[in-house]
Chain A
Amino acid sequence: MGIPSTPFTVLRDFYAEEFARIEREFRASSNGRVATQGRAALLDRVILDLSREFLAPELNDLRKLCLVALGGYGRRELFPHSDVDLMFLWEDASIESRYREGTQAICRALWDLRLRVSPTHRFLSECEKFQPDNPEFNISVLDSRYLEGDRGLFERLRNRALPHMIAGGWSDLLRDLAELTEQRHRKEGDTIFHLEPNLKNSPGGLRDYHVAWWVGLISKMEKAGMWATPEDIWPAKALQDMDKAFEFLAAARCFLHYRQGRHDNALSYELQAAAAARGIGVENGRAIDPAEWMRIYFRHARAVYALCTQLLDETLPAPAKLRGFLGWKSSLLDSGFYVAGTRLSLLEPSGVHEPQRLLDVFRYVAKHGARLSREAEDQIHEALPSIFDSGAALPSLWSNLREILLAPHAAEALRAMHSSGLLVRLFPEFAVIDSLVVRDYYHHYTVDAHSFMAIENIHRLREAEKNWERPFANLFSELEEPELLFLSLLFHDVGKGMPCGDHVAGSLDAIENVFARLDLKPEQADTVRFLIRDHLAMSANLLRRDIFDLETIRVFAEEVGTPERLKLLCLFTYADIRAVNPEALTPWKAQSLWQLYVLTANYLSRSLDEERFHAESGDLQFVDRIFPLVSSTASREELASFLEGLPRRYLFAHSAEEIASHFPMARKLKENNVQLRIDHRRQIYALTLLATDRPFLFAGVSGTLASWGMDIWKAEAFANAAGVVVDTFHFTDPHKTLELNPSELLRLQKSIEDVLTGAISRETLLRGRAGAQSKPQPKVSVPTQIRFDDSSSPHSTLMEIVTQDRPGLLFHLSSTLANFGCNIEVALIDTEGQRALDTFYLTFGGAKLRPDAQEQLRVRLLAEG
């Protein structure tokens, strides 16, 4: 190839012919590296020619000015339609005025060639200083390459000015690089698993490849005062992976540029199919399936992302949250790992051959947000066969997984478990959605990444900032077993990787296998099944039903059954939609979802009188479900008689096993008219009471619990048609009376029975309580609101009261109601922080309360405050 000469038309034709030649060669070889080097060389020749024309016929005569290639052009990685970064470097101002016109003519000629040239003019002295307001220039000058002009000037740039700039500003350079990278990653959802990734900017793309290069370059210059090569700064295995990744990404990006005829790096579905058909980046250039081609892309992106983020983490100080754990070092060492910066490394790789120690690593990651070092990830990957193929006993999987799922960085831990291969070893069901691309117009991420992101969306509610996020954050804080939500989110879409038409059915099949490895209680498994089976129900109602139509709400509430399940499903829907793409959950959708939640929650709490079990109305499916679990000699008719008239909420709120255990208690009421049981689960005590209805029943139990210092945070009171009351109280033991003195549990039980049977008078109870309780100072002031509703129930008046929670509150309320002459037909007692949220279905003389009675009751409740 000879060097052309002006006129401009000759240069233009020369550039076009050479550009076309490089493209032809790329089409034949698919070698992106060669194509980008070829274009850089072409530009070198064009700029040489223009420099001779506009600066000096003999470029060796040029003094105190040199032309420098920057950025990708400087690295000789000039993609077909990428920008050309060109610097005119001046010794001083005198030389600038002499050549200014010539440099401008060069730029105009390049623009006339339709090249996207970004020229920069700098004095050498300017390059010695870190420029805080221009991080892009500070970074692009690291890849400077001599083109033409005063070579001595360029040598001073490379050997003096830039080392000086790095020595003074290396930490600022790295900080800027980290911030720019973090912003870019955040914009792309912090995941490599985009269905239509951007080959340059997506996590794991070419920009990350270069970040890994720059971090090494800066660190090497700072430590050794010399320019580095990739061999100097990247570990041997990483170097190999990075080299392969670059070959693939460069080929794919060249393919995109040529095909689109412009600087377009978005790898759309259509372009994925075209690249796969051409075998771009594939060994021997053979055509493969687009999904398989994308899996190759994700493998390379994963390698690039891992090295880029690890190098950034290693060079930056650890965030404060992890620095605090340095004092924790000894216990970390005991666990066989340590944290440097934000990366966790293994002290002894053999330690993770012990299953519990292996899981401890991920429990730590989930709790503190440290990331695995690449070496640790490889070591864990290599340890897995010896653990799983040896048939060694695994520790309790559910207790470990539960702890991981509940921890604030659960998604990070699950991603690390997946990258290292552990997740699929524990749950082979997950393998079918590994890097799985399901093409539609809405999903941006692969199915596995979507599932992790959904879990992350829930944990991020802890730091909810937007107004429309806060109601969901409150809901999250109210969940009784959030781990079930996370477990469901993890497996809800595995059916998408299964050969079945209905992905929900596939996921339900898969979760049964998962249950076999987790010791979940039957009711917990039921909840997970419900969430997976109905995970699209709220979206479907939002899209296809009028949510302000009472019938829509009634049908939906019936499907959901209980307030707790409604909360779980609402949060599931929130997390699932938000993990589709960054814009999928608009404030509009979030508010509509919240409205559906509120309408349904209110329906569930205000329709208890109407929604009751009636054997004659075809409710016998409940009997069918419960009867096989009843261990007495009772008949189906007796069971149906017990259930008759109980609110359906009772049937949904309790598992079949629980109801089956209530039924014998009801039968024993003939012998003893108070049946009582207290169960203990973690920090919560659950008291179940069956008794024949009588005045002060609810007040008696709540008063006794309060007099013992127990804190009631939830309660429900129901009654069947025969007047048998089924009350449940969930309470905590803040003074640890029962925990420290287990025998006191029997005494508490006896005390409640004595109050209910009249063996101890209410006055005695009150005296005991007066001495026992001291009012703690409330942290938040909650004004009392009382609202009566005569329209929701045909038989009762609903009284909803919101007030400051305090010891003995429920006793005070229920006593006032009983003294007023009200009968509590149904009670739903709940707390939210320091707010007590209680709903009572009241009757007075068997009928609703008249307006004047409501007003009198309101005055009395407020007066007795």
Chain B
Amino acid sequence: MRIEAIIQPSRFESVKEALHQIGVEGMTVSEVRGHGRQKGHTETYRGREYEVDLLPKIKIEMVLPYNLVDGAVQTILKTARTGKIGDGKIFLSKVDEAIRIRDEERGEGAL
């Protein structure tokens, strides 16, 4: 399964650490911007309007064997939650195949 989580930057270190603790070793991390219901706002600084409409977020992507998925999702939910609007989203999707480039191993062994 592929897990894509969009979380608050401030929660990233904790989420990463918690995922490592439950055995999730690999992940891809991107710096992204966006908004959901938590719309941005406009700041003024020294007379200049400054759009803060796209807020900074961290996107974590992982492809995990089924037995780790629930644990990973629960870990992200628990660790990334602050209770405020803007905590992010988790998306799950199925992956047809995984291939390790180095030795061309396929399936779960490649994860």
A-side residues, CB < 8 A to B, are 542-549, 586, 588-589, 591-592, 595, 598-599, 601-602, 785, 787, 800, 802, 830, 832, 835, 837
Contact = CB atoms under 8 A, between A and B. Distances in A.
B47 A601 contact: no
Interface string B35-55: 000000001111100101001
Contact of A592 (B12, B13, B44, B56): B56
B43 A543 contact: no
Contact of A599 (B8, B31, B43): B43
A835 B52 CA distance: 23
Nearest to A786: B47
Nearest to A835: B47
B10 A800 contact: no
A548 B55 contact: yes
A802 B46 contact: yes
B31 A602 contact: no
A785 B43 contact: no
A548 B47 contact: no
Given A785-B47, A802-B46, 8 more contacts: A542-B9, A546-B10, A549-B84, A588-B32, A592-B9, A595-B52, A602-B44, A837-B46
B33 interface: yes
A832 B86 CA distance: 35
A334 B92 CA distance: 74
A588 B33 contact: yes
Interface string B1-35: 00000001110110000000000000000011100
Nearest to B50: A598
B82 interface: yes
Interface of B: 8-10, 12-13, 31-33, 43-47, 50, 52, 55-56, 82, 84, 86
A264 to B, nearest CB: 15
A545 B47 contact: no
Given A543-B13, A595-B52, A586 B31 contact: yes
A572 B82 CA distance: 30
B13 A591 contact: no
Contact of A598 (B12, B45, B55): B45
Contacts of A832: 46
A471 B60 CA distance: 29
Nearest to B8: A546
B13 to A, nearest CB: 6
A589 B44 CA distance: 20
Contacts of B45: 598, 601-602
A672 to B, nearest CB: 38
Contacts of B9: 542-543, 592
Contacts of B82: 546
A588 B10 contact: no
A837 B47 CA distance: 7
20 contacts: A543-B12, A544-B10, A546-B8, A546-B84, A548-B55, A548-B86, A586-B31, A588-B31, A588-B32, A591-B56, A592-B9, A592-B56, A599-B43, A602-B45, A787-B44, A800-B47, A802-B47, A832-B46, A835-B46, A837-B46
Contacts of B8: 546
Nearest to A588: B31
Nearest to A836: B47
A802 B49 CA distance: 12
Contacts of A787: 44
Q: Which of B31, B44, B45 has the most CB of A within 10 A?
A: B45
B60 to A, nearest CB: 15
Nearest to B55: A548
A543 B52 contact: no
Contacts of A802: 46-47
Nearest to A787: B44
A2 B8 CA distance: 70
Nearest to A591: B56
A708 B66 CA distance: 79
Nearest to B48: A802
B10 A589 contact: no
Nearest to B38: A548
A402 to B, nearest CB: 28
A832 B48 CA distance: 12
Contacts of B56: 588, 591-592, 595
Nearest to B33: A588
Contact of B13 (A544, A586, A601): A544
Given A546-B82, A548-B86, A588-B56, A602 B43 contact: yes
Contacts of B46: 802, 830, 832, 835, 837
Contacts of B47: 785, 800, 802, 835, 837
Contacts of B12: 543
B66 to A, nearest CB: 31
Nearest to A597: B45
Instruction: Give the interface centre of A588, A599, A830, A832 by most chain B CB atoms within 10 Å.
Output: A588
Contacts of A544: 10, 13
A-B pairs, top 3 by smallest CB distance, nearest first, are A802-B47, A588-B31, A598-B45
B103 to A, nearest CB: 16
Contact of A545 (B10, B31, B50, B52): B10
Give the one of B12, B33, B56 with max A CB within 10 A.
B56
Contacts of B84: 546, 549
A800 B13 contact: no
A599 to B, nearest CB: 7
B58 to A, nearest CB: 10
Contacts of A830: 46
A602 B86 CA distance: 22
Given A542-B9, A543-B10, A588-B31, A800 B44 contact: yes
Contacts of A591: 33, 56
Contacts of B43: 595, 598-599, 602
Contacts of A800: 44, 47
Nearest to A596: B56
A810 B54 CA distance: 37
A542 B44 CA distance: 20
A74 B82 CA distance: 65
Contacts of A547: 10
A390 B44 CA distance: 58
Contacts of A601: 45
A700 B10 CA distance: 49
Most buried by A among B10, B46, B86: B46
Nearest to B57: A588
B38 to A, nearest CB: 9
Contacts of A835: 46-47
Contacts of A589: 31
Nearest to A478: B46
A586 B32 CA distance: 11
B90 to A, nearest CB: 19
A560 B12 CA distance: 25
A174 to B, nearest CB: 42
Nearest to B44: A787
Contacts of B31: 586, 588-589
A601 B13 CA distance: 26
A588 B30 CA distance: 10
B82 to A, nearest CB: 7
A828 to B, nearest CB: 11
A592 B54 CA distance: 11
A589 B12 CA distance: 14
A506 B7 CA distance: 36
B93 to A, nearest CB: 25
A544 B82 CA distance: 12
Contacts of B33: 588, 591
